[in-house]
């Protein structure tokens, strides 16, 4: 009886209970739907990330704009800085630039500096460069400078320091003495070489840079050459400064230097016209005499024997080398040639010199030059 019931129950069982394929289909359908949804979400996320990366990494500025230097001080805010950068580079998406600056908290990372930015830099690169304080150095170079004031203005103009800060340090006798100079001879330390410094460089850091360069130039060989002439490096630099002011003809620098060295060794006053021009501030004078000779200044080498207390210009290193390698001769006198060629007529005796001087004075008279 029980066996027949079992068989009947099997026979009477609805067929859909045995339809495994339909049951399987029902069970897999939600999984497939969820998988497709996840895939689409992933694709959308990847597209959004790609678009964000494109916006962050593409050139931020307009191709029509040039490079721009952003200067950050202690009072600069991130918002103001980003606004200025957006304007200067014509940033395509200034809102994104400001938002990225906020996200990385640029305000708390700002440090004084000079930052070189270009239109082809990305927004991310701009923000990272400033946040990581990746300053770009300033190149300092000078030539044909006579006075300390000219030098101070030249060096401080592209830097954050003020001219007064550097001027004060150069007038500090204690500080100059610590470098081995006086307030007059410290000018010898500045060689017209190219230096790279940061915009935020302090006056002491700047002078340390030039002091290192000075001692590197005055190596053992140059120092020994100076000693052989009975001179110090500072004295050689002072002579070089006079030589440069005397002539624009580099091929006679050695002769001029030798002449002044000869006069020094003989105890004769240098009577160098350029020192009078320096003392008076009249650098265009062509006739030296009269009131100029009466100037009471240690730079008046007609009135005071020996070298002036400091250089009368910042000489080129090649001029210093010309002094060190001058060829010995017996010249004691010189004056400008009467042909106005820029060269000098040299003489070993005073009588010969007077003949040369009279010829030059006559040429000045003929041209109507009175000063």
Domain boundary among 81, 109, 131: 131
Same domain for 87 and 160, yes or no, is no
145: closest CA among 325, 3, 311? 311
Eight-class DSSP state of 328: P
User: Does residue 108 fall inside a structural domain?
Assistant: yes
Tell whether 48 is covered by a domain: no
* % of the chain at pLDDT higher than 70: 87
164 and 119 in a common domain? no
- Note the pLDDT tens digit of each residue in 107-160: 889 999 999 999 989 888 899 999 988 899 999 999 999 999 999 999 999 999
Question: Could you tell me the residue range of the domain that residue 344 belongs to?
Answer: 245-366
| Lowest-pLDDT range of 17-26, 123-132, 298-307, 353-362 | 17-26
Tens digit of pLDDT for each residue in 50-72?
655 555 656 777 776 788 999 99
Structure pTM?
Answer: 0.81
Could you give the percent of the chain with pLDDT greater than 90? Answer: 66
Q: Tell me, yes or no, whether 97 and 165 share the same domain.
A: no
Of 82-96, 177-191, 262-276, the least confident: 82-96
Task: Answer with the one of 108, 131, 154 that is the final residue of a domain.
Answer: 131
| 18 in a structural domain | no
- Write down the pLDDT at residue 35: 73
Q: What is the pLDDT of residue 54?
A: 55
Q: Which long-range contacts (CB under 8 A, 24 or more apart) does 159-163 make?
A: 159/197, 159/199, 159/201, 159/206, 160/71, 160/73, 160/112, 160/114, 160/199, 160/200, 160/201, 161/201, 161/202, 161/203, 161/206
pLDDT tens track for 83-95: 999 999 988 888 8
How far apart, in whole angstroms, are the C-alpha atoms of residue 40 and residue 229?
A: 88
pLDDT at 93: 87
Whether 106 is in a domain gets the answer yes
327 part of a folded domain: yes
The answer to whether residue 35 sits within a structural domain is no
CB atoms < 10 A from the CB of 195, how many?
18
Report pLDDT for 1.
44
CA–CA distance, 180 with 315 (Å, rounded to integer): 19
Q: Does residue 144 share a domain with residue 122?
A: no
Our count of domains for the chain comes to 3
The DSSP H or E segment spanning 86 is helix 78-89
Residue 195 C-beta-side C-alpha neighbours within 13 Å: 24
Domain termination residue (choose one: 83, 110, 131): 131
pLDDT tens, residue by residue, 185-205 = 999 999 999 999 999 999 999
The better pLDDT of the pair 305, 93 is held by 305
How confident is the model over 258-271, as a mean pLDDT? Answer: 96
Beta strands in 85-169 (DSSP E): 113-117, 138-140
Pair (265, 357) in one structural domain: yes
Arithmetic mean of pLDDT over the chain: 88
Q: At what angle do helices 148-156 and 163-170 cross, to 10 degrees?
A: 140
pLDDT tens for 312-368 read 999 999 999 999 999 899 999 999 999 999 999 999 999 999 999 999 999 988 888
Within-domain flag for 41 = no
């Amino acid at each position: 009886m029980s066996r027949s019931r079992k068989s009947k129950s099997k026979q009477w069982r609805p067929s859909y209970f045995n339809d495994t394929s339909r049951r399987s289909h029902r069970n897999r359908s939600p999984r497939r739907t969820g998988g497709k949804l996840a895939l689409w979400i992933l694709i959308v996320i990847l597209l959004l990330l790609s678009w964000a990366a494109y916006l962050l990494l593409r050139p931020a500025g307009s191709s029509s704009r040039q490079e721009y230097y952003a200067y950050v001080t202690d009072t600069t805010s991130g918002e103001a800085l980003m606004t200025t950068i957006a304007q200067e580079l014509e940033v395509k998406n200034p809102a994104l630039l400001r938002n990225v600056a906020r996200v990385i908290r640029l305000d708390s990372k700002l440090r004084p500096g000079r930052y070189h930015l270009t239109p082809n830099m990305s927004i991310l690169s701009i923000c990272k460069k400033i946040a990581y304080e990746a300053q770009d150095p300033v190149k300092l170079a000078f030539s044909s400078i006579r006075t300390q004031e000219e030098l101070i203005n030249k060096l401080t103009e592209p830097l954050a320091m003020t001219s007064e800060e550097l001027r004060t340090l150069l007038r500090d006798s204690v500080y100059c003495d610590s470098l081995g100079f006086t307030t007059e001879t410290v000018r010898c330390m500045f060689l017209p070489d190219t230096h790279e410094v940061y915009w935020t460089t302090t006056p002491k850091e700047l002078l340390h840079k030039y002091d290192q360069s000075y001692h590197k130039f005055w190596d053992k060989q140059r120092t020994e050459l100076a000693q052989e002439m009975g001179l110090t490096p500072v004295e050689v630099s002072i002579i070089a400064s006079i030589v440069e002011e005397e002539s624009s003809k580099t091929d006679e620098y050695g002769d001029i230097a030798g002449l002044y060295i000869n006069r020094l060794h003989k105890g004769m006053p240098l009577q160098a016209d350029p020192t009078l021009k320096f003392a008076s501030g009249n650098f265009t004078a062509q006739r030296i005499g009269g009131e100029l000779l009466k100037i009471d200044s240690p730079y008046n080498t007609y009135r005071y024997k020996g070298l002036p207390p400091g250089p009368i210009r910042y000489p080129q290193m090649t001029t210093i080398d010309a002094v060190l390698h001058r060829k010995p001769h017996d010249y004691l006198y010189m004056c400008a040639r009467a042909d106005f060629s820029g060269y000098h007529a040299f003489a070993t005796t005073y009588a010969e010199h007077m003949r040369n001087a009279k010829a030059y004075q006559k040429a000045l008279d003929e041209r109507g030059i009175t000063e």
